[in-house]
């Protein structure tokens, strides 16, 4: 199954505590239908010290968010949009904004 959101896409969060945030996808976890988005869904992890060069402490990092809570962001429309897949004359697929027709 192919996911609608890929690494380095600009997305807007449409649900949850980070609603309305526009950010970049760091990586996608296809088996769980989740994505890790930059500065979204931040959680605190308590880490154990792993020797002198890696001290322990509380580290804040991004947790995965479900893909259904994300929408692709259109720079022209300045909001989250639905998109269509169109073929270019060379035969490659492009994702196109349904509202304005710009390539995402």
Residue 33 confidence (pLDDT) = 92
| E-state strands within 1-104 | 10-13, 22-29, 34-37, 42-47, 57-62, 65-66, 70-74, 79-81, 83-87, 93-97
At 23-70, the pLDDT tens digits run 999 999 999 999 999 999 999 999 999 888 888 899 899 999 999 999
Residue 58 confidence (pLDDT) = 92
pTM: 0.80
Percent of the chain with pLDDT over 70: 98
């Amino acid at each position: 199954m192919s996911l609608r959101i890929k690494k380095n896409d600009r997305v807007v969060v449409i649900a949850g505590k980070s609603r309305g945030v526009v950010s970049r996808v760091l990586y996608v976890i296809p088996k769980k239908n989740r994505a890790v988005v930059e500065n979204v869904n931040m959680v605190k992890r308590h880490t154990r010290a792993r020797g002198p060069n890696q001290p322990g402490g509380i580290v804040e990092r991004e947790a995965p968010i479900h893909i259904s809570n994300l929408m692709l962001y259109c720079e022209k429309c300045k909001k989250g949009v639905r998109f269509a897949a169109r073929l270019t004359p060379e035969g490659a697929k492009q994702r196109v904004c349904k509202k304005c027709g710009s390539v995402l």
